[in-house]
């Protein structure tokens, strides 16, 4: 819930003029009020995501946004299951899975978030928590070709704390192994797994070298010009 017309225009202008790694797919997710503004000004080849979508068609669901409305506006992705939605707004695994299926069925790609709290990590339940969140989706969705998984340790979001490269890689590898067992070998090979949790231009290059980290879900740093350096982490 950040941004104004002016600040978003500035971010878009910076991206439009930047020399970006052509091998890195870039998707930006402004608040819903600014989705059309962003899509109309962002250059072709860069995509726009909603931060959420509802699991029902258009109708009497005041305050929500439908997949049909996203498609009508040229929005090709949505973020679902973000920890703030799970924790603050009490969205459970089943609701996130329903929304994921609804988006995918309509042809909108999903950036599916999963992650554990500090208490869960200290109780050695990280993999159990993350795979339970993902399993709820696997129970309803068989085709994962338009899902990108984003692992975001809740304790590392906006805190300045970052999982070490080893911690992040360990969870990403476990997620890939889970994909092989619960979905398919093809899903394990082809599903991109992003890391999200206080990613900055300072730590992105080391994280990007890890074999199972395919990209980043960037929070606060995406509001700054250094976002371009994160996009170009593999150059």
116 in active site:
no
Q: Choose the catalytic residue: 116, 152, 172, 201.
A: 152
64 in active site:
no
Q: CA-to-CA distance for 117 and 78, rounded, in angstroms?
A: 23
Task: Give the residue from 128, 204, 134 showing the smallest Cα distance to 165.
Answer: 204
Q: Choose the catalytic residue: 82, 116, 172, 201.
A: 82
Report long-range pairs for 115-123 (Cβ below 8 Å, ≥24 apart): 115/83, 115/151, 115/152, 115/153, 115/154, 115/196, 115/197, 116/153, 116/154, 116/155, 117/87, 117/154, 117/155, 118/154, 118/155, 121/153, 121/155
Is 53 in contact with 70 (CB distance < 8 Å)? yes
Task: Give the residue from 20, 69, 67 showing the smallest Cα distance to 43.
Answer: 20
Q: CA-to-CA distance for 207 and 158, rounded, in angstroms?
A: 17
Q: CA-to-CA distance for 65 and 167, rounded, in angstroms?
A: 36
Q: Which residues are catalytic?
A: 82, 152
């Amino acid at each position: 819930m950040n941004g104004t017309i002016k600040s978003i225009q500035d971010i878009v202008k910076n991206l439009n003029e930047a020399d970006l790694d052509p091998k890195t797919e870039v998707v930006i997710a402004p608040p819903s009020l600014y989705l059309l503004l962003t899509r109309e000004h962002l250059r072709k080849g860069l995509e726009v995501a909603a931060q959420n979508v509802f699991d029902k068609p258009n109708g009497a669901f005041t305050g929500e946004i439908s997949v049909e409305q996203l498609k009508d506006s040229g929005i090709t992705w949505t973020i679902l299951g973000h920890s703030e939605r799970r924790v603050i707004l009490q969205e459970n695994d089943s609701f996130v899975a329903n929304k994921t299926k609804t988006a995918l069925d309509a042809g909108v790609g999903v950036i599916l978030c999963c992650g554990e709290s500090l208490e869960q990590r200290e109780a050695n339940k990280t993999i159990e928590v993350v795979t339970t969140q993902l399993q709820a989706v696997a129970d309803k969705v068989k085709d994962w070709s338009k899902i990108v998984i984003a692992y975001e340790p809740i304790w590392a979001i906006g805190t300045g704390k970052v999982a070490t490269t080893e911690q992040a890689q360990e969870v990403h590898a476990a997620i890939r192994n889970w994909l092989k067992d619960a979905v398919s070998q093809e899903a394990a090979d082809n599903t991109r797994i992003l890391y999200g949790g206080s990613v900055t231009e300072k730590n992105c290059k080391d994280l990007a070298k890890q074999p199972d980290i395919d990209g980043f879900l960037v929070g606060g740093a995406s509001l700054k010009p250094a976002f371009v350096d994160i996009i170009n982490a593999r150059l």
